[in-house]
Amino acid sequence: MKKMIIISIILVSLALSTFGFLRAYSQDKPFFDMFSMAGEISQSKDSLLNYKAKIDRVLDKIKLEQSPTEKYFVTTTFSKYVSKEELEKLVKDYNVEVLAIEGRSIENGTMLKGTFFVAPENGMLYDEKLLLDMLKRNDAAFKGFTAVIANMQNQDIQKLRNNKMVFLIDTSADTHFVRNPEHEETNSWDGYAPSVFAELEKNNLLNP
């Protein structure tokens, strides 16, 4: 009986120490900081490409070490302006659980570029009428979609990253890797990693 009590105490101690280790490990994750990320990629063309290489190494790692069905909160930056039809096909083919879509508009008179966001609504990928009304109010033309913020399974991420329309699938805001208090709900796009599309334009890296 005494031996059983001692064994029980040891097992409880081990369990508590393991819990403490996991808790400490979780707290050791850095906080996600989109401003630091923006600063990192905006310095030069090389800094942008180095950032992409760093994220690609993360994707290589999760491909080998994580379940194919594990989900991640990602921002996919396109390598070109993407049409509505191209976006719809991509979302369907790669099981993209869209939270928000980034797009580009151009004012007709001034030719100034603008960035807008649309989100799924009433079973639609986005409200096309709402977008057209917004463009009309601003006397602007639709240029194309530039990024999508979504939840995706590991296996779909690995397939999508090989698509020529994609420049980067960024997992840096995902809570597997960082503490992100802004992103508390899985169906929200709060606390997202900004797209790098503007940097692609600035560095002439867009595909035709």
Give the pLDDT confidence score for residue 135 in this predicted structure: 96
Start-end of H helices in the chain:
2-27, 34-41, 45-65, 84-93, 128-137, 154-160, 197-202
Q: Which residues contact 128 (CB under 8 A, 6 or more apart)?
A: 84
Sheet-wide strand order for 140-153:
113-118, 97-107, 140-153, 71-82, 166-170
Rounded Cα gap, residues 145 and 116, in angstroms:
9
> 3-class DSSP state for residue 151?
strand
- Kindly report the pTM of this predicted structure: 0.84
Q: Which backbone phi and psi does 109 adopt, to 5 degrees?
A: -80, -50
Averaged over successive runs of 10 residues, the pLDDT of the chain (208 residues) comes to 36 36 53 83 92 97 98 98 98 98 96 96 94 96 98 98 98 93 88 96 93
Give the pLDDT confidence score for residue 27 in this predicted structure: 55
> What amino acid is encoded at 25 in this protein?
Y
Please return the burial class of 204, using the count of CB atoms within 10 Å of its CB with bins 0-12, 13-18 and 19+: exposed
> CA torsion sign, 41 to 46 to 51 to 56?
positive
